[in-house]
Amino acid sequence: MESKEISLEMREYLISAGAQTLDWCMQCGLCSALCPWRQVPGHISESFYIRRMQRLGQLGLEGFDAEEVLFACTTCGMCQVNCPRQVKIIENVRSMRSTTVEAGFVPGTLRSVIGSLHANGNPWSGPREKRMDWQKGLDVPAFTPETEYFLFVCCTSCYDPRSQRIARSVVEVLKRAGVSFGVIGTEESCCGETVRKIGDEELFKKLAESNIELFRSRGVRKILTTSPHCLYTFKYEYPELGGEFEVMHYTQLLAELAREGRLAFDGAAGRRVAYHDPCYLGRHNGVFEAPRLLLQSLPGVELVELSRSRERSLCCAGGGGRLWAEVPRGERFGELRVLDAEDKGADTLVTACPYCIIMLEADCLALEKNEKLKVMEISELLIQSLRE
């Protein structure tokens, strides 16, 4: 067999594109072992090994750019938080993806996403002018310089009918809690978190810069997000571009209010609730307690832990652009979460991320467990017990 030529040029390119910790990797393989893909069978599981992908990157060898390898990572962060060498594995993945995306090669499923982001400022092919349609029938305050929090609603909850319910219930809860908040409107663009993970650095910059300018011009200082993905990018990536804001996930603020006794809940119907930690709220942002505190403050709710929770939570498979990927049944991580919740005797699977909701709900339906197990966003459960 011909031996492969090392390409120091490709390697240097990757490092300059952001894979600065590529060389720190000592190839121990803990990353591949911890990868959620090991939990499922199938073609991707058999072809995608994050350790090997890093190795190919280190040597600038071809092979990392095969579509099923390059775009398999859900950026769940399980490998990264456990890496004994603190390699920023997700940044390395991002930079490897950027080598092909910037050359114009994008997987079919992601082409419309990128196109829509360019054209409409959201990945869902929704017209910009309809961004605020989720508010119909709801009196949502507009953000003014006097407003304390700017509420940034994830594109998914702006356009996806199921997800719009999340935005609405978040608004209702915030209002009931007496929080000073408001939204800006159709000028808002996608936060860009996912498209950056996909590898389109240019597009991310474009979206982020337009948002930063908009937020600044409106006098935004504090941001509340409905999605942990927006939270992540506002908090950790916007400052690179000069966008310094105080950012919180809405559950963090509500938990604070509940702790201070400024938000009290009435009895909800007796429920046995399993909580799924979204990767971006938990591992990426370190928020484990706030949602649990809210759930525990609901009378009549019994909180059960999934067998993998908190730092060890298993990804729903929706991050890193995988939300739009086609994965055969039996190979979806979300199915394992649904089965785990069922196994724990839960009747409700609660989470706090619009992506997780899409993935888990689809998997619950596919497994025909939707009669037994309800998938809910935490605000939906909160508002139920506020209404009663």
Partner 1 sequence: MDKKLAVYICTGCGIGEALDVEALAKVATGEYKVPVCRTHPFLCGAEGVAMIKQDMEAEGVNALVIAACSMRVNYDVFNFEGAVVERVNLREQGIWSHPANDEDTQMLAEDSLRMGIVKARHMALPEPFQVEDLSRTVLVVGGGLAGLTAALDAARAGYKTVLVEKSEVLGGWVSRLYRQVGVNPPYSELEETDIARRVKEVEENPLITVYKGAQIEKISGAPGMFEATINHGGTQVTERVGAIVLATGAVAYDATKLAHLGFGQYANVITGEMLEEMAAKGSITRPSDGGPVNSVAFILCAGSRDKEHLPYCSTICCTESLKQALYIKEKNPEAKVYIFYKDMRAAGNYEFLYQRVQKEGVLFFRGEVVSIEEDEGKNLFVEFDDVLVGEKIRTEAVDLVVLATGMVPTTAIGERMTIKAETDEKGAQAEAPAEEIIRSNILNLEYRQGPEVPTLKYGFADSHFICFPYETRRTGIYAAGSVRAPMDIPTTIVDATGAALKAIQCIELTAKGSAVHPRVWDLSYPEFFMQRCTQCKRCTVECPFGAINEDEKANPLPNPTRCRRCGTCMGACPERIISFKNYSVPMIGDMVKAIEVPEEEEEKPRIVVFACENDAYPALDMAGLNRLTLSPWIRVIPVRCLGSLNLIWIADALSKGIDGILLLGCKHGEDYQCHFIKGSELASYRLSKISETLNRLALESDRVRMEQVSIMDYDRIPKIIEDFASRLEEIGPNPYKGF
Residues forming the site for partner 1 (CB under 8 A): 1-6, 8, 23-27, 51-52, 55-56, 58-59, 61, 85
What minimum distance in Å lies between the beta carbon of 65 and partner 1?
14
**Residues 259, 289 contacting (CB under 8 angstroms):** no
What minimum distance in Å lies between the beta carbon of 54 and partner 1?
9
What minimum distance in Å lies between the beta carbon of 68 and partner 1?
17
Burial of 330 (C-beta count, 10 Å sphere; 0-12/13-18/19+): exposed
**Residues 149, 224 contacting (CB under 8 angstroms):** yes
Distances (CA, A) of 231 to 28, 99, 228, 364: 32, 26, 5, 26
DSSP code for 301:
E
What minimum distance in Å lies between the beta carbon of 5 and partner 1?
5
> Which one, 1 or 103, has the nearer CB to partner 1?
1
What minimum distance in Å lies between the beta carbon of 49 and partner 1?
10
> Which one, 54 or 74, has the nearer CB to partner 1?
54
**Residues 179, 173 contacting (CB under 8 angstroms):** no
What minimum distance in Å lies between the beta carbon of 282 and partner 1?
28
> Which one, 87 or 346, has the nearer CB to partner 1?
87
> Which one, 3 or 371, has the nearer CB to partner 1?
3
Strands 271-275 and 348-351: parallel
Q: Six-digit token pair at 378?
A: 């935490």
> Which H/E stretch holds residue 271?
strand 271-275
DSSP reduced 3-state for 168: helix
Who's near 57: CB < 8 A, 6+ residues apart?
Answer: 11, 14, 19, 22, 64, 92, 96
CA-to-CA distance for 81 and 277, rounded, in angstroms?
15
**Residues 192, 227 contacting (CB under 8 angstroms):** no
**Residues 140, 183 contacting (CB under 8 angstroms):** yes
> Which one, 5 or 148, has the nearer CB to partner 1?
5
Q: Could you give the strand order of the β-sheet that contains 374-377, starting from the edge strand earlier in sequence?
A: 301-305, 271-275, 348-351, 374-377
> Which one, 18 or 354, has the nearer CB to partner 1?
18
> Which one, 4 or 43, has the nearer CB to partner 1?
4
What minimum distance in Å lies between the beta carbon of 316 and partner 1?
31
Encode 4-28: b = buried (16+ Cβ within 10 Å), e = exposed. Answer: eeeeeebbeebbebbbebbebbeee
What minimum distance in Å lies between the beta carbon of 34 and partner 1?
18
Looking at the DSSP bridge assignments, the partners of residue 305 are: 275
> Which one, 2 or 260, has the nearer CB to partner 1?
2
> Which one, 58 or 169, has the nearer CB to partner 1?
58
> Which one, 52 or 310, has the nearer CB to partner 1?
52
Amino acid identity of residue 204, one-letter, is F
